Amino acid sequence: MVRAAERLRDVLAGVPDPEIPVLTIGDLGILRGVEEDGGRLTVTLTPTYSGCPAIDPIREAVAGRAAAAGFADVEVVLQLAPAWTTGWMSEEGRRKLREYGIAPPEDRAIGCPLARVRVACPRCGSHGTRLVTRFGATPCQAQYTCASCLEPFDHFKAH
């Protein structure tokens, strides 16, 4: 028999991100874990950015989906440390982002200025892209434009 914590984790991994609904919280790596202690289940979430406004709706969605799946005694907690990084985003998540038109974060050392990063256009694949502004529609995105296909696009910042 599969443990309750694992079953709940599978249920919750499919909760969509409210700002980039093509991604689930499982893809993003912000569903940090589900622990069972004497019948009580504790779900640990971590925000992407300190002020990410999506975390409250995510919290509610997680509690709602757990209740709908028949888990009665569930507590949702937020944990900051260790800090989330885009390295926790799954390969599946990166693929979904690219197909959605958002350039996924690249693997790189933290602290390297964004301007030096070569971001590939999610539409045509060209590396001839230009940073328009490092702050985009959500805290985790920057705006780029492609010099080859001339399309503007968002880039999920490596963080």
Partner 1 sequence: MTGGAEYTLRLGDDALVLAQRLSEWSARAPDLEEDLALTNIALDLLGQARALLSRAAELEGAGRDEDDLAYLRGEREFRNALIVEQPNGDFARTIARQLLFSSYQLGLYDRLCDSTDDVLAGVAAKAVKEVAYHRDHATEWTLRLGDGTEESHRRMQDAVDWTWPLAAELFEHDALAEQLVREEIAVDARELRPAWEHYVGGVLAEATLERPDTAYAPSGGRRGEHSEALGHMLAVMQSVHRSHPGATW
Evaluate the CA torsion angle 21, 26, 30, 36 in order and state its sign: positive
Cβ proximity to partner 1: between 4 and 117 the closer is: 117
* Region binding partner 1 by CB under 8 A among candidate stretches 21-29, 62-70, 80-88, 94-102: 80-88
> Considering only residues 21, 38, 70, 113, which one is a binding residue for partner 1 as defined by CB under 8 A?
113
Q: Which two tokens stand for residue 125?
A: 């694949």
> How many other C-beta atoms can be found within 10 angstroms of the C-beta atom of residue 158?
20
Told to check if 88 binds partner 1 by CB under 8 A, we report: no
H or E, element range at 155: strand 152-156
**Interface size with partner 1, residues (CB under 8 A):** 25
- Nearer to partner 1 by Cβ, of 137 and 147: the residue is 137
**Shortest spacing between CB 59 and partner 1, in angstroms:** 14
Min. distance of Cβ 44 from partner 1 in angstroms? 13
Measured at the CA of 131, the angle between CA 18 and CA 53, to 5 degrees, comes to 20
- Are residues 62 and 43 in contact, defined by beta-carbon separation less than 8 angstroms? yes
137 binds partner 1 (CB under 8 A): yes
Nearest distance, CB of residue 86 and partner 1, angstroms: 10
Q: Does 29 bind partner 1 (CB under 8 A)?
A: no
Decide: helix, strand or coil at residue 91: helix
Helix/strand/coil for 27: helix
Q: Is 139 in the site for partner 1 (CB under 8 A)?
A: yes
- With CB under 8 A as the contact rule, the residue among 21, 37, 50, 91 that binds partner 1 is 50
Buried b (16+ CB within 10 A) or exposed e, 4-23: ebebbbebbeebebebbeeb
Cα dihedral 38, 40, 41, 44 sign? negative
Binding site for partner 1 (CB under 8 A): 47, 49-53, 79-84, 110-111, 113-114, 132-137, 139, 143, 159
